[in-house]
């Protein structure tokens, strides 16, 4: 199956359906190239994405909804494009939320953690014995939550079975010499969890709906909705398992644009293809970084609503 | 302060693909320079003819069939370096830079034939070279010129390909030159005046090295070169910058008169693109082809694809993953909106669209963008100080176009097929002239 390099969506408008069938145009973050990807969704694609995401989220955290504590500020929508986009980016995940709380407060244009308020919230949830999900962008988790909490020397207890989900790439944290191991250690210092569960989620706008949370150690599973191939950067041939190369993802989800087989500029390697420890079957892989040592694909561009500019096509929705 | 010494008077301390931070550590730049100055004194007392003789001997040795060093140079797409080191190349280069008299670096010579007044070129002292990682061996060009002008040379290599230059310095140390009188000179005469080092960009050593330099020689991209130039320096320190520039080719309609001539032109352009792995500032990326010949620019692009494929077979590809990804993106784009000719894998690519204008953003990895022009003189408007070499495939109009292009910032207008050759002037200067002080008596 021929693949397209994912950055073609930054250079050419690609549509597989007529304009009247387009219900939404997604523009991803433009982390490195300054140019956003443009992806058109029709109703079929959008529905497939939402259904797939729901299944994958259930597989990750169980079918029972749980309280979500968002590592961002509430009520910022509309006031600040970047902030509202960040908050919008979480919306897809929030379909798994039984209730939603926001951990940060915007004060004088700056985000701040109200430690007392967060502690109070966690105590109330603890009393109800509800496992929760702390969720947010990787750099915000570190910058606005972990660092301030560590500064106060306080350690907040999370209800049993709670989970920390973060996404968006490591570029900003790499500048501060914060890697995965250090982030996990710092998170465990400031949050008391009975069984530490910190997951880094990988994904990209051009195959929205599919997320690749890691297992806590950087290994990710390609679900039944997708497959991963690692290609030699020079010959473009598939590489043997274990060898690092360019990552290609294949999924049948896209109907409105040619995104079924996409080659990314992220470097990764296949770890195994077995069912491990009684877990699920599938190809397990690691993302080692952006080609040529730049950042891992980022900005949390993993969900249908995680878009910096969303243009609703009123005609199609009508 | 951490300075890792990769090559010194004892030889090299790193393998070609080794880790520079595993090399011996030096914490005092002054100590390094003091050792170097002893080597420089021996250089100063040696006639430049002997120094050229040593370089010539190295060039000869490295062009012998089966020579390992020459093979490595070919693999690094800098196969012209041994030829550049030959006497026939270096003697005129030194003479041009030294006001027509190479002996001026050995002692006082008349300013003009028969003149009473005499002048000479004195070495400036300590040259600190910051090399780029993309074409590591190209730094040999400034190091050799630093040696021919009898300076001490402290060479800071890039982490990427850190072991390459020390490897060639070690090979140079083993060279022997037999003078006409039968006595021998060893290559260590040259290499004792060179130290190859590595320091982290964040380390304070960079500032210390800049402060020590009498001449700062910087190779690399804009960010790297600017950060070096922004380091504090002593009053009177000279700067030689080989910074980021892009190059192109102009093909006149007269070279499109027939299939055979067009193919010959395409073969020469392909040679220029493959040399230096297309990573040099003198490597072409955009090929402007004038309309009005028997062959269209589009037909020429097809021929260029064939010739580039042929030339690329002779040198293994050196494509970084990010470059491969960019190339694949362009292939997909031109398959949709123009024409693309390319290999299996990412060995080479040629792109064409009737709509394209201006200079293409370099994609590297032997990727050429063919763009049509109605008149070759249109290209002058695209030139600036950021354009370095224009390879010209023209007949009578060649000098006239060179005049127009160089007036707008282009530095060199060689014939196609010769774009990759290092010659003087370069980047608007005679570099060796900048490595000496002119004094009179």
pLDDT of residue B77: 57
pLDDT of residue A302: 30
pLDDT of residue A52: 92
Q: Within 10 A of A154 (CB to CB), how many other CB atoms are there?
A: 13
Task: Report chain B's mean pLDDT, rounded to a whole number.
Answer: 91
Q: Phi, psi at residue A315, to the nearest 5°?
A: -60, -45
Sequence-separated (6 or more) residues with CB below 8 Å from residue B21: B4, B198
Task: Please name the member of A234, A267, A294 whose beta carbon is closest to the beta carbon of B345.
Answer: A234
Q: What is the pLDDT of residues A57-99, one digit of tens each?
A: 999 888 889 999 998 887 654 444 444 445 555 777 888 899 9
The Cα–Cα gap between A261 and A246 comes to 13
Q: How far is CA B325 from the centre of its chain?
A: 26
Q: Residue A238 gets which letter from DSSP?
A: B
Q: If you measure CA to CA, which chain A residue comes closest to B344?
A: A235
3-state secondary structure A128-143: CCCCCEEEEEHHHHHH
B102 pLDDT band (50/70/90 cuts)?
Answer: very high
Domain residue spans in chain A? 4-317
- Give me the CATH topology for the region A4-317: Rossmann fold (3.40.50)
Q: What is the ipTM of this complex?
A: 0.78
Q: Tokens for B66?
A: 């089966």
The verdict on whether omega for the bond into residue B425 sits within 30 degrees of 0, i.e. cis, is yes
- Is A292 within 8 Å of B324 when comparing Cβ atoms? no
B3-244 CATH: 3.40.605.10
B246-407 CATH: 3.40.309.10
The answer to whether A241 touches A235, Cβ cutoff 8 Å, is no
- Is B320 within 8 Å of A291 when comparing Cβ atoms? yes
Q: If you measure CA to CA, which chain B residue comes closest to A235?
A: B345
**How many inter-chain contacts (A to B, CB under 8 Å) are there?**
59
pTM of the model: 0.80
Which chain B residues touch A234 with a CB distance below 8 Å? 317, 319, 324, 345-347
pLDDT of residue B206: 85
Query: H or E stretch including B232?
Result: none
How many residues in total does chain A contain?
318
Longest Cα–Cα distance of chain B, Å, equals 72
DSSP calls for B111-124: SSTT-S-EEEEEE-
Burial (Cβ within 10 Å: 0-12, 13-18, ≥19) of residue A317:
exposed
Strand order in the sheet with A22-27: A38-42, A22-27, A309-312
The Cα–Cα gap between A5 and A33 comes to 14
The answer to whether B128 touches B217, Cβ cutoff 8 Å, is yes
Q: Residue B90 gets which letter from DSSP?
A: H
Q: How far is CA A179 from the centre of its chain?
A: 17
pLDDT < 70 positions in chain A:
28-34, 75-89, 276-278, 291-318
- Is A291 within 8 Å of B346 when comparing Cβ atoms? no
Q: What is the pLDDT of residues B266-315, one digit of tens each?
A: 999 999 999 877 888 889 999 999 999 999 999 999 999 999 999 998 77
The Cα–Cα gap between A223 and A318 comes to 34
Give the number of C-alpha atoms closer than 13 A to the C-alpha of residue B230, restricted to the C-beta side. Answer: 6
Q: How far is CA B384 from the centre of its chain?
A: 20
Helix axes B205-212, B29-44, angle to 10 degrees: 30
The Cα–Cα gap between A174 and A180 comes to 10
Residues belonging to chain B with any Cβ–Cβ distance to chain A shorter than 8 Å: 317, 319-326, 328-329, 332-333, 336-337, 344-347
The Cα–Cα gap between B395 and A64 comes to 79
Domain residue spans in chain B? 3-244, 246-407
């Amino acid at each position: 199956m021929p693949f397209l390099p994912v950055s073609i969506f930054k250079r050419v408008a690609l549509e597989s359906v007529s304009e009247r069938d387009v219900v939404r145009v997604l523009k991803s973050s433009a982390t490195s190239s300054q140019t956003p990807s443009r992806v058109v969704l029709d109703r079929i694609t959008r529905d497939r994405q939402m259904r797939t995401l729901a299944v994958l989220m259930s597989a990750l955290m169980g079918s029972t909804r749980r309280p979500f504590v968002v590592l961002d500020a509430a009520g910022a929508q509309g006031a600040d494009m970047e902030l509202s986009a960040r908050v919008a980016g979480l919306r897809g995940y929030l379909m798994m939320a039984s209730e939603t709380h926001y951990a940060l407060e915007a004060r004088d244009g700056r985000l701040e953690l109200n430690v007392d308020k967060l502690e109070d919230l966690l105590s109330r949830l603890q009393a109800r014995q509800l496992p929760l999900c702390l969720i947010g962008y990787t750099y915000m988790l570190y910058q606005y939550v972990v660092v301030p909490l560590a500064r106060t020397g306080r350690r907040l207890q999370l209800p049993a079975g709670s989970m920390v989900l973060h996404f968006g790439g490591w570029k900003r944290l790499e500048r501060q010499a914060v890697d995965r191991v250090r982030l996990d250690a710092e998170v465990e210092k400031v949050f008391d969890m009975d069984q530490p569960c910190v997951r880094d989620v990988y994904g990209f706008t051009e195959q929205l709906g599919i997320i690749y949370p890691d297992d806590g150690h950087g290994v990710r599973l390609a679900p039944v909705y997708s497959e991963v191939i690692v290609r030699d950067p020079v010959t473009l041939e598939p590489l043997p398992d274990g060898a690092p190369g360019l990552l290609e993802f294949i999924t049948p989800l896209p109907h409105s644009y040619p995104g079924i087989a996409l080659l990314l500029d992220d470097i990764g390697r296949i770890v195994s293809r077995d069912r491990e420890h009684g877990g699920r079957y599938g190809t397990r892989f690691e993302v080692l970084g952006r080609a040529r040592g730049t950042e891992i694909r980022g900005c949390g561009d993993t969900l249908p609503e995680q878009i910096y500019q969303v243009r609703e096509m009123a005609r199609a929705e009508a | 302060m951490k300075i890792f010494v990769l090559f010194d008077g004892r030889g090299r301390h790193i393998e070609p693909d080794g880790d520079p931070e595993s090399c011996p550590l030096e914490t005092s730049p002054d100590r390094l320079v003091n050792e170097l100055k002893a080597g420089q004194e021996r250089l100063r007392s040696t006639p430049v003819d002997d120094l050229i003789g040593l370089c010539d001997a190295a060039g000869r040795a490295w062009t012998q069939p089966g020579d390992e060093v020459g093979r490595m140079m070919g693999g690094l797409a800098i196969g012209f370096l041994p030829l550049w080191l030959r006497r026939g190349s270096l003697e005129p280069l030194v003479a041009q830079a030294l006001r027509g008299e190479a002996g001026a670096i050995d002692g006082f010579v008349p300013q003009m034939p028969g003149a009473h007044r005499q002048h000479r070129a004195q070495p400036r002292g300590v040259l600190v070279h910051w090399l780029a990682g993309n074409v590591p061996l190209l730094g040999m060009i400034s190091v050799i010129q630093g040696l021919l002008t009898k300076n001490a040379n402290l060479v800071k290599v890039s982490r990427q390909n850190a072991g390459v230059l020390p490897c060639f310095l070690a090979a140079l140390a083993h060279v022997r030159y037999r003078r006409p009188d039968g006595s021998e000179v060893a290559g260590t005469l040259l290499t004792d005046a060179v130290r190859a080092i590595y320091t982290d960009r964040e380390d304070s050593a960079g500032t210390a090295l800049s402060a020590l330099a009498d001449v700062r020689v910087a190779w690399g991209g804009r960010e790297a070169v600017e950060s070096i130039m922004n380091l504090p320096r002593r009053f009177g320190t000279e700067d030689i910058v080989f910074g980021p520039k892009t190059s192109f080719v102009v093909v006149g309609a007269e070279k499109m008169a027939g299939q055979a001539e067009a193919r010959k032109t395409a073969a020469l352009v392909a040679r220029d693109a493959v040399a230096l792995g297309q990573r040099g500032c003198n490597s072409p990326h955009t090929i402007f082809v004038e309309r009005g010949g028997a062959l269209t620019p589009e037909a020429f692009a097809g021929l260029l694809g064939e010739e580039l494929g042929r030339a690329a077979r002779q040198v293994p590809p050196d494509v970084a993953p990010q470059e491969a990804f960019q190339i694949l993106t362009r292939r997909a784009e031109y398959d949709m909106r123009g024409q693309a000719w390319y290999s299996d894998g990412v060995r080479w690519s040629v792109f064409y669209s009737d709509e394209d204008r201006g200079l293409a953003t370099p994609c590297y990895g032997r990727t050429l963008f063919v763009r049509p022009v109605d008149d070759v003189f249109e290209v002058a408007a695209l030139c600036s100080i950021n354009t370095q070499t224009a390879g010209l495939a023209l007949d009578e109009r060649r000098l006239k176009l060179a005049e127009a292009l160089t007036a707008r910032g282009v530095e060199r207008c060689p014939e196609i097929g010769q774009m990759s050759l290092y010659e003087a002037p370069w980047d608007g200067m005679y570099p060796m002239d900048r490595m000496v002080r002119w004094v009179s008596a």
